[in-house]
A and B are shown apart, each in its own frame.
Chain A
Amino acid sequence: MLNEYDVISKVGQNVLAGYLGLIVETSELQQGANSIESNGVGVALQIIGQMEGQFISTMSTATVKELVSRMMGGYEVQQLDEMCWSAFQEFGNWFVSGIATELASQGIQVNITQPLLHEGDVTYHSINNYTVVTMTSEIGKIDVYMQLEEAQTTK
């Protein structure tokens, strides 16, 4: 049985600590969630293949500025321009590709779709429950929501 929390926190550590040098603490919301509210920014990707589902990461505007600034090697971000959005998409790509790589090591083959970005007030509603992981570091809180199920075999 796949432990989604373990996968998310391992990949989150790889990206945020291993690559961006942040000291990160991860925690899981025990009851999960079936709706997501965001008033900052978010990146969403779908996972397709032997398991299917979604990945959504949300954070405040202040946090995403710090995040992309670090991705750009410390370059100060005043305003979120096209290059920043491209970087934020790439953050989504790295994270979910890391999850795909982790799943592959457990014998599950998946692929990921292009990242979709949002900015401003948004609420996602879902019938299924999301695993909710919060990653806290000096740049603020990054929330990760993921739901993953065995793909229907009726192809």
Chain B
Amino acid sequence: MAKIMVVDDAAFMRKMIKEILTEGGHEVVAEAANGEEAISFYKSCNPDLITMDITMPEMDGIAAVKAIKQLNSEVKVIMCSAMGQQGMVLDAITAGAKDFVVKPFQKDRVLEAVRKVLSA
């Protein structure tokens, strides 16, 4: 079981991811709706893992991962995006994400990514 922060600008997606993670036995300790919130919540709740949307207002997910990496170079992030283009996956991995899940996603795929990233 891990303490996870969910970052997505869509309330619906936060709800979905939270349900999947909770059913998988994890605890969602924070929900952020943009990159700036993500950075501030990261500091206050120090989660084991982050699920991060890419397209968000204020600060996008790639910029947020880069900023959080500055705070903790070991941070574990799974990118969640509806865009499956290679360029975007590459940008996310370069920024420091450990895995990439494409929306709409299946429960098993998300939990598998979480398990893999936590045990790495």
Contacts and interface: CB of A to CB of B under 8 A. Distances in A.
Interface of A: 15, 19, 71-73, 82-83, 86-87, 89-90, 93-94, 97-98, 100-101, 104, 109
Interface residues of B, number: 17
A86 B11 contact: yes
B82 A93 contact: yes
B12 A90 contact: yes
B85 interface: yes
Interface in B95-120: 103-104, 106
B19 interface: yes
A83 B85 contact: no
Interface of B: 10-13, 15-16, 19, 81-87, 103-104, 106
A86 B19 CA distance: 16
B86 A15 contact: no
Contacts of B15: 72, 83
Contacts of B13: 86, 90
Given A83-B12, A90-B13, A100 B83 contact: yes
A104 B86 contact: yes
A131 B77 CA distance: 39
B10 A90 contact: yes
Contacts of B82: 93-94, 97-98
Closest 4 A/B residue pairs (Cβ): A97-B82, A86-B12, A87-B12, A101-B84
Given A15-B104, A73-B19, A94-B103, A101 B11 contact: no
B103 A100 contact: no
A54 B110 CA distance: 31
Contacts of B104: 15, 19, 71, 90, 94
A98 B105 CA distance: 13
A104 B89 CA distance: 13
A82 to B, nearest CB: 7
Contacts of A98: 82, 84
A65 B82 CA distance: 22
A10 to B, nearest CB: 13
Contacts of A15: 104
